Homo-oligomer: A and B are copies of this chain.
Amino acid sequence: MLIHEDRLFPADPTTRTIAKALYDSVRALPLVSPHGHTQAVWFSKNEPFPDPAKLFVQPDHYIYRMLYSQGLSMEDLEIGVEHIQNPRRVWRLFASHYYLFRGTPTRLWLDFAFQELFGLTERLSEKTSDLYFDTISEKLNTPAFLPRALYDSFHMEVLATTDAPFDSLNDHQAIRDSGWKARIIPTFRPDSVVDPDFAGFRENITRLGQVTGEDTSTWSGYLNALRKSRERFRKMGATATDHGHPTANTANLTETEAVALFAKVLSGKADKNEHELFRAQMLTEMARMSVEDGLVMQIHPGSARNHNRRLYEKYGRDIGADIPTATNYVDGLRPLLEVVGNEPGLTIILFTLDESTYSRELAPLAGHYPCLRLGPPWWFYDSPEGMTRFRELVTETAGFYNTVGFNDDTRAFLSIPARHDVARRVDCAYLARLVADYRITEQEAFEVAHELTYGLAKRAYHL
């Protein structure tokens, strides 16, 4: 077998027994996925997923960044090509280097999918490469592996995608029109029209004007266009926005200053500090709109994108070379919080790639401001040790109830059950330790486990 039924539980027998009991009480709860990067088109079209290389290797930066770090070339892995020429060869390259993932969450997720979805029981390696390729290929062409069938079999209650403001949302509409009873909702992600460093920023703003019928060459028209876009998303079921900024900086400019800055940014003459200031101001504007329309605001700051310039120039974004940076939430968020920090009804969910901020900044902020909640460990920290550190560093100051449950945050649809399973196990293991040394009672742990698995996500995201 690839995975053990007691995986990720504490070794101490007493604590393990408690963890198992807690996990048994939440393992079958429906999956709530309020933040991720799956694509609505999969579910509107409901076509079979392609071959194993295209499905598992090509879109998963967790996988190819590790392979690249060990000297495999992007060319050999056929990353970034439209049609993989030799998927069986790509798969074999991956298979023969699968040992590199020992001790990583990728290994946990994949082994779960391989065993639970595809019935494979011998570890992936060069030896089993073809067996895997053939088994997975075959199953992907059966009705049970069509996107909608998988969604249903995953026992999903809601799945949020992440979408640009121009997205037609036609695929979301098509899902609704199809009569299929699934809750797949969009998330409003305006980076492409609020970040002057985003590729095509000015064209994007023009396009935003066309889509909304607003004059986006003016500050007020631009804000109205954003408002209208948010409303369109909200009508399609969106309950949240999402913001991926290089820092957590926010600003609180006067109207006059904002008008001038917007004009300069649009003119293309703004420098990088002004770009940063514009992003900062836009977070505050987005928060103001969230007070108006009730959309939950997610902030994902602190990634130095496209660090490897050569790969970026050849392959574009999301190629595995985004690196976390130190992030200052205390000063960064202050301007925004001075505007909306005490607003009833507002929810802002903070994420981080800088774990030194968990106990120093994020837990104290979320443990005070009524609008702030802490998102789960993100990206590199969506892992057993990462989740454990999160709870250990956050709970004593912010408690459990200022956190929001789990996000799978994935492009890899097939990994969703595995990711939620890891989170449930790790949270139950953490709770079991608190029970074992009498910090909370077992009865309380059952309640909290249910909240961490289900209740908090539902409430924080207004689902």
Chain A interfacial positions (CB closer than 8 Å to B):
3-4, 6-12, 14-15, 65-66, 68-71, 99-105, 107-108, 304, 307-311, 320-326, 328, 330-331, 334, 337-338, 341-342, 344, 353-356, 359-361, 363-370, 372, 380-381, 383-386, 392-393, 395-402, 433-434, 436-440, 444, 447-448
Contacts and interface: CB of A to CB of B under 8 A. Distances in A.
A102 B442 CA distance: 12
Contact of A66 (B14, B321, B399): B399
B440 A400 contact: no
Contact of A103 (B6, B304, B369, B400): B400
A343 to B, nearest CB: 10
A433 B342 CA distance: 44
Closest 10 CB pairs of A and B: A4-B438, A7-B438, A11-B436, A383-B396, A103-B395, A356-B356, A11-B12, A324-B360, A380-B397, A323-B364
A361 B392 CA distance: 21
A20 B30 CA distance: 41
Nearest to A366: B69
Contacts of A66: 367, 399
Given A105-B396, A304-B331, A325-B328, 15 more contacts: A7-B437, A8-B439, A10-B437, A66-B367, A69-B367, A69-B370, A71-B370, A102-B399, A102-B448, A103-B399, A103-B448, A104-B397, A307-B330, A308-B337, A363-B380
B310 A69 contact: no
Q: Which of A69, A107, A386 has the most CB of B within 10 A?
A: A69
Given A11-B15, A69-B402, A308 B396 contact: no
A439 B368 contact: no
A99 B433 CA distance: 18
10 contacts: A11-B433, A99-B447, A101-B399, A304-B330, A307-B365, A323-B365, A325-B361, A326-B360, A384-B439, A386-B396
Q: How many monomers of this chain does the complex have?
A: 3
A304 to B, nearest CB: 5
Q: Which of A107, A331, A386, A439 has the most CB of B within 10 A?
A: A439
Contacts of A9: 437
A396 B402 contact: no
Nearest to A448: B102
A44 to B, nearest CB: 34
Contact of A360 (B330, B356, B364, B439): B356
B370 A68 contact: yes
A369 B308 contact: yes
Given A100-B401, A400-B103, A361 B311 contact: no
A400 B99 CA distance: 10
A353 B342 contact: no
A396 to B, nearest CB: 4
A399 B434 CA distance: 28
Nearest to A341: B308
B311 A342 contact: yes
B324 A399 contact: no
Given A8-B439, A330-B304, A330-B307, A323 B368 contact: yes
Contacts of A65: 367-368
